[in-house]
Structure 1
Amino acid sequence: MTQAQKAKQFAALHIKGTPLILFNAWDAGTAKVIQGAGATAIATSSWSVAEAQGYQDGERIPLSLAEQIIARIAKAVDVPVTVDFEGGYSEDDGVLAKNVSRLIELGIIGINFEDRVVKGEGLYPAQRQAQRIAAIRDVARKLGVDLFINARTDLFFGDGNPEKLTEEALERAKTYRDAGASGFFIPGLTDDALIKKISDNVYLPVNVMVMDGLSPAKRLAELGVARISYGPIPYIKAMNALKEEARASAA
């Protein structure tokens, strides 16, 4: 399957009410296991990739090392691969575009791209984030790949009123869509009514992240969700199991 075919296949997996389930990987080995379990696509978790190499999340793992890991994952599996690229490792649109172009050349067909100011404070203004998304879309077009840009907003990781934040999220979703986003990711939001409101009013596939308080997949499907990500949960569970096995062997 060509990269273009994988990109088309991946986009088609995002169906409102029949969500794509992504059990996030952190290296080639976990990607192969997840594919072997029947996954139709592979997604990485930046948190897990960083932790597995002894780094903290937040673009602290060197980009060159992250690229090596992504390259190994893309070569290890036959299904589409999308990566959590945080803020793209640059605030400069030109550098950002070059960073994304290298990922595309490694074979990936999608990215998560967040509006949090990595290593800074708060979120980018919606229009500024839209410019960044547009820069990514432009370079993807030049490379002939219909990159799935999953526009992530970190609004719901703050302390604000979720209902008021939902209104801002809807505005950001439209702005990001107009700039070239393919999906809208709302990690941190767990309220059924607000998830449904976003799903009903956003003209992009809506992605949620598994965490305490989030409804089961069947209920999320009823709310109109098109994608469910497990984020760092697989890594945490795997490491907890390893710790218990190591503790038992040392007893």
Structure 2
Amino acid sequence: MTSTPHDHAAHLAELTVSRAERLRELHAAPELLQVVNVWDVVSARVVAALPGTTALATASHSIAASFGYPDGERIPVELMLDMAGRIARAVEVPVSADLEAGYGAPGETIRRAIGEGIVGANLEDELKPLADSVAAVRAAVAAAEAEGVPFALNARTDAWLRGHERPREVWLADAIERGRAFLDEGATCVFVPGALGEAEIAELVDALGERRLSVIGLPGVPAPARLAELGVARVSYGPYTQRLALGALEDAAAQLYAGGVLPSDIRPLN
């Protein structure tokens, strides 16, 4: 018997729910969830093929740069969602997308992302008034519930990124207040990007709960094994993975211009 468009749509919906459930499980598991950020299909396939990969995350900054746009919602949302969907359809593991601040319509953006096969997302508060930030999280959670998908919302607060010039106790208290409010609205975990030390991470975990904090693995941030011991749920790497790749390209080009030749051990990863 041939399958119908309805059968295909039902299969995709079932697959999306299954991957969403898996991503939620990975956030709650005792093991730290490490997601290496990708920006296109080939980078996603390379990372997904590694034995240690259980999920992937896109990097909005990196995708925007690939299309020639600066970071900060300057890329059209259609382009961002299209690339995120291409990545999700190219791999077997769950994919979480960095959807910046929701492109002016967090609920609708999450709904469209789910339609592309995305099962989790970062959503930035940009340190907007708390009521506005909470409303954005509420809209995102409601949109996922309406689609019947147990979406993994990584609600991001920029309390450190945009406010770390404030006294330590002030930005930490702000991050905790916002994080608790986001969790109360149904966020899976709270993302506090920044150059956080062990003491700040421990305070945030104590205030938000174990496996509810997400961080970025910047130089100086504790290593993954220690993050797991501290009770962190997830670590990602943002645009730094693309910068590593571009740095390798720049170095190779400079060596070729200087009279060098291509090495003999190039891996055929594309």
TM-score calculated relative to the size of structure 2? 0.85
Q: CA deviation at 1:100?
A: 1.7
Q: Which has the higher contact order (CA 8 A, sep 6+)?
A: 1
The separation in 1 between residues aligned to 2:34 and 2:57, in whole angstroms, is 10
Matched, 1:139 2:120: no
The separation in 2 between residues aligned to 1:96 and 1:15, in whole angstroms, is 24
Q: State the one-letter code of the partner of 1:213.
A: G
The separation in 1 between residues aligned to 2:169 and 2:219, in whole angstroms, is 19
The separation in 1 between residues aligned to 2:228 and 2:89, in whole angstroms, is 32
Q: CA deviation at 1:17?
A: 5.2
The separation in 1 between residues aligned to 2:167 and 2:43, in whole angstroms, is 37
Question: CA offsets per residue over residues 103-130 of structure 1, 9 Å max, x none?
Answer: 11000000100100xxxxxx21222211
Which protein has the larger Cα radius of gyration, Structure 1 or Structure 2? Answer: 2
Classify the secondary structure of the residue corresponding to 1:243: helix
- 2:66 equivalent in structure 1: 52
Classify the secondary structure of the residue corresponding to 1:14: helix
Q: CA deviation at 1:225?
A: 0.9
- 1:160 equivalent in structure 2: 166
- 1:236 equivalent in structure 2: 243
Classify the secondary structure of the residue corresponding to 2:38: coil
The separation in 1 between residues aligned to 2:109 and 2:74, in whole angstroms, is 15
Q: Which runs of 5+ in 2 are unaligned?
A: 1-13, 259-270
Contact persistence 1:40–1:80 (CA under 8 A): yes
1:2 to 15, 18, 28: 15
- 2:253 equivalent in structure 1: 246
Classify the secondary structure of the residue corresponding to 1:108: coil
The separation in 1 between residues aligned to 2:129 and 2:192, in whole angstroms, is 16
Q: How well do the aligned residues superpose, as a CA RMSD in angstroms?
A: 1.4
Report matched runs for 1:209-228 at 5 Å.
Answer: 209-228=216-235
The separation in 2 between residues aligned to 1:15 and 1:64, in whole angstroms, is 31
- 1:120 equivalent in structure 2: none
- 2:24 equivalent in structure 1: 11
Identity of aligned residues (%): 37
The separation in 1 between residues aligned to 2:115 and 2:233, in whole angstroms, is 27
Contact persistence 2:189–2:213 (CA under 8 A): yes
The separation in 1 between residues aligned to 2:206 and 2:160, in whole angstroms, is 18
Classify the secondary structure of the residue corresponding to 1:220: helix
Q: Which runs of 5+ in 1 are unaligned?
A: 117-122
1:98 to 108, 112, 137: 108
Q: Which shifted more, 78-87 or 218-227?
A: 218-227
Q: CA deviation at 1:16?
A: 6.4
Classify the secondary structure of the residue corresponding to 2:214: strand
Contact persistence 1:26–1:45 (CA under 8 A): yes
Task: Say if 1:189 and 1:162 are closer, same or farther in 2 by CA, change over 3 A.
Answer: farther
Q: CA deviation at 1:150?
A: 0.5
Number of residues paired by the alignment?
241
Question: CA offsets per residue over residues 176-203 of structure 1, 9 Å max, x none?
Answer: 1111211100101412111011112214
Matched, 1:172 2:178: yes
Q: CA deviation at 1:53?
A: 1.7
Q: CA deviation at 1:217?
A: 1.2
